């Protein structure tokens, strides 16, 4: 009987330590995702759209869903940004408000939030839901729905 209880206790201790590890990893993951978003804010506010796009997965499989419909691919998404925001007056100063970061699985999260652009051509505000995936050790946006 004692061996049985020790065995069950060992399993429970293992599960508890795994759960604690996940929380530590999740906290670190969320912080890294926030850092990507902060770097994007800075790049956008400097009208550096190429640097802003470093937060995205550089792939033809990247998906961006906005007011003009669905766009596939990193290059096409960058091209659309350049057309829609041709000058610093159009990019303005970007501020993200992150309302939720939730784990999908061990390698991906979805982020819901708001964007706020302060700019001389008129301010713009909206919401977004993006999906981050860990690719080659880095968190990248693989899908973005903004309106």
pLDDT in tens, 27-49: 999 999 999 999 999 999 999 99
Kindly give, in sequence order, each residue whose CB lies less than 8 Å from that of residue 97, ignoring residues fewer than 6 positions away.
113, 114, 115, 116
- Give residue 68's pLDDT band: very low, low, confident or very high (50, 70, 90): confident
User: Class assignment of domain 2-146?
Assistant: alpha beta
3-state secondary structure 68-126: CEEEECHHHHHHHHHHHCCCHHHHCEEEEEEEEEEEEECCEEEEEEEEEEECCCCCEEE
Global confidence as pTM? 0.83
Give the residue, 6 or 127, on which the prediction is more confident: 127
Burial class of 95 by CB neighbour count within 10 A (0 to 12, 13 to 18, 19+):
middle
Burial class of 125 by CB neighbour count within 10 A (0 to 12, 13 to 18, 19+):
exposed
Predicted confidence at residue 143, as pLDDT, reads 98
Token match 């209880």: residue?
5
Kindly give, in sequence order, each residue whose CB lies less than 8 Å from that of residue 93, ignoring residues fewer than 6 positions away.
45, 117, 118, 119
* Inter-residue contact 108 to 133 (CB < 8 Å): yes
- Give residue 12's pLDDT band: very low, low, confident or very high (50, 70, 90): very low
């Amino acid at each position: 009987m004692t061996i049985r209880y020790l065995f069950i206790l060992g399993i429970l201790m293992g599960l508890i330590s795994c759960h604690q590890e996940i929380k530590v990893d999740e906290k670190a993951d969320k912080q890294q995702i926030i850092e990507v978003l902060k770097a994007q804010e800075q790049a956008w506010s400097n009208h550096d759209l190429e640097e802003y796009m470093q937060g995205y997965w550089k792939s033809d499989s990247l998906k961006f869903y906005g007011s003009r419909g669905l766009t596939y691919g990193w290059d096409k998404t960058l091209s659309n940004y350049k057309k829609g925001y041709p000058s610093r007056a159009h990019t303005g100063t970007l501020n993200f408000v992150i309302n939720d970061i939730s784990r999908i699985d061990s390698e991906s999260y979805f982020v819901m939030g708001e964007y706020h652009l302060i700019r001389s051509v008129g301010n713009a505000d909206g919401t977004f839901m993006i999906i981050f995936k860990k690719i080659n050790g880095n968190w990248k946006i693989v899908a973005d729905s903004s309106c």
